[in-house]
Structure 1
Amino acid sequence: MDVKLAVVFVLIVQRTVETTHSADLYENSSLERSSNPKKIRLSLQDTAEIQQCLLSAGDVGCGTFECFTNSSCEIRGLHDICMSFLHNAGKFDSQYFLQGKSFIKDALKCMAHGLRHKFSCVSRKCVSVKEMVFQLQHVCYNKHNLCSVVRENINVMIEMIHFQDLLPKGPHVELVNILLGCGEEVRVAITHRIHSQCEQNWGALCASLSLCLPDHTKIQTVPTLTSVPAIPSANFLPHAGPPLPQPDGQQV
């Protein structure tokens, strides 16, 4: 009788432990989901911190763009682009130095002013905040004639493009897509730059990828690869090419 009671007691304890463990797993999972809103929307704390940062930052310099660096929406790249523009300002051709300097000053001021005034009006959803940033890039870069500056200073601009900055998609990708619309000479220089850096980072893997670009432009490393249709999206990522043959003749 005592043995039976002991067995029943052990089973009850085991069932209780299993139930408690399952409940803890569910609770922890729910807590993790609720405490990880990074890919959905800005937290109230982040929103308040960004607004305070924007109010204290001026239109000159890169302080405004740094306000978004550590936000939960992970909008990286604005501050890096600003610093890169300022760092390379002295490299512009002397004949067009004033034009390049004027573009950098006016375009960055336009972006800073736009971020300060539009951020408080946009939804806290990350997709809305990012779309606002991308739209400002197009408006400010085009308004202050980015393409005119780039056509006369192609080498300076392509030095600012780094393959690793294009993943994940963000302000760097938007800048590249705008540059790709600045004429054939600029497009060829940029695609060559991206290709060479892709091979440096990914090696032979680049031979099996096609980088799809706007306006039905496609970079392709191997002429025999099957064509991949261009994607009209503002942001692009590499798309896989055809399956690679295995040593035994099978394909994966």
Structure 2
Amino acid sequence: MCAERLGQFVTLALVLATFDLARGTDATYPPEGPQDRGSQQKGRLSLQNTAEIQHCLVNAGDVGCGVFECFENNSCEIRGLHGICMTFLHNAGKFDAQGKSFIKDALKCKAHALRHRFGCISRKCPAIKEMVSQLQRECYLRHGLCAAAQENIRVMVEMIHFKDLLLHEPYVDLVNLLLTCGEEVKEAVTHSVQAQCEQNLGGLCSILSFCTSAIQRPPTASPEHQLQGDRARLSRIHRGEASLHFSAVRGPRGERGSRSHPQAQARGRAGSQGTQGPSGSSEWEDEQSEYSDIRR
């Protein structure tokens, strides 16, 4: 139930956000012809957008966020590359030497990869988005995102804004990688995102946190104890069924024997409880001889 509500809420938020952004984009950059409208409906980057991006990449400089700005306002709705680049540059002064080196090398790696891979990729929007996500992961990991985050946890956490996670996939890729950078970084990022979620969505985040903790709550008994308990219950059930079956089979003879020898039934029930030592076998033999006397 909790997972379904979370999925429905996130889907609704993304749909509303996409609708607002698309409405603003249509008003500012209306389609210029049927070809552009057809490309958008098929999930492809329009030819006009492709030519514009390629021209922009050629003229963009190697320093700054110019390369990432080329991917703003496109028909595939690939957004956030320029914003996350500017966020890193604005906060670079708060990082230590290792963090500054990471920012410089990672942004340069991403810009170089975008410039060289865009001309070789399909115009289909899913393919372009996957390419962007993949090169981001490669550049972040290659240049030591986790090492920089572990030494600059506070600054890295301050860069994460909850609303960006709902609107821009590059921020989601960054946060997902940060969650793999050790328990300290994971705890700081999780606490920050949950706090911002409560500020923006109110009590809904508390409900979702409760549901998550309830799902992850460990069992009250260890698996070994549960297994032993199950075996004991099965053993008791098995013994009870065996005793019931044996009594049912012996029932008719017991009725015939009760007419002359009532004590034979008691000895028969005592013998039906299983192996109880030498006395059990002797009683069984006595009972058989008594039954033989009755039949004679």
Instruction: Answer yes or no: same fold by TM over 0.5.
Output: yes
One of 30, 54, 58 as aligned partner of 2:57 = 54
Which structure: greater strand fraction? Answer: 1
3-state SS of the aligned residue for 1:81? helix
**Counterpart residue type for residue 62 of structure 2:** D
Q: Alpha-carbon deviation of 1:60?
A: 1.2
What is the distance in 2 between the residues matched to 1:71 and 1:110? 22
Pair 1:223–1:133, CA change in 2 (3 A): closer
**Counterpart residue type for residue 129 of structure 2:** K
What is the distance in 1 between the residues matched to 2:37 and 2:68? 28
CA contact (8 A) 1:54 1:64 kept: yes
Offset from partner CA, 1:171-229 (integer Å, 9 cap, x none): 110010011110000000001011000011100121333xxxxxxxxxx246764459x
Quote the RMSD (CA, aligned, Å). 2.2
Q: How does 1:132-211 map to 2 (within 5 A)?
A: 132-168=131-167, 170-209=169-208
What is the distance in 1 between the residues matched to 2:42 and 2:191? 33
Q: Alpha-carbon deviation of 1:69?
A: 1.2
CA contact (8 A) 1:58 1:64 kept: yes
Pair 1:55–1:223, CA change in 2 (3 A): closer
Pair 1:81–1:39, CA change in 2 (3 A): farther
**Counterpart residue type for residue 63 of structure 1:** G
What is the distance in 2 between the residues matched to 1:83 and 1:169? 14
Matched residues, number: 184
Q: Alpha-carbon deviation of 1:59?
A: 2.0
**Residue 76 of structure 2 corresponds to residue 76 of structure 1:** no
**Residue 90 of structure 2 corresponds to residue 91 of structure 1:** no
Q: Unpaired segments of 5 or more residues in structure 2?
A: 1-33, 218-296
Offset from partner CA, 1:118-137 (integer Å, 9 cap, x none): 00000111110010001111
Offset from partner CA, 1:72-126 (integer Å, 9 cap, x none): 111111111111111111112xxxx221111111110000000000000001111
CA contact (8 A) 2:39 2:46 kept: no
CA contact (8 A) 2:39 2:45 kept: no
**Runs of at least 4 residues of structure 1 off by over 4 A?**
33-36, 221-228
3-state SS of the aligned residue for 1:167? helix
What is the distance in 2 between the residues matched to 1:137 and 1:221? 33
**Counterpart residue type for residue 166 of structure 2:** L
Q: What's the counterpart of residue 41 of structure 1?
A: 44
Which structure: greater helix fraction? Answer: 2
What is the distance in 1 between the residues matched to 2:78 and 2:45? 11
CA contact (8 A) 2:80 2:168 kept: no
What is the distance in 1 between the residues matched to 2:73 and 2:160? 22
**Counterpart residue type for residue 198 of structure 1:** C
Pair 1:85–1:184, CA change in 2 (3 A): same
Offset from partner CA, 1:126-160 (integer Å, 9 cap, x none): 11001000111111011110110110000000000
3-state SS of the aligned residue for 1:90? helix
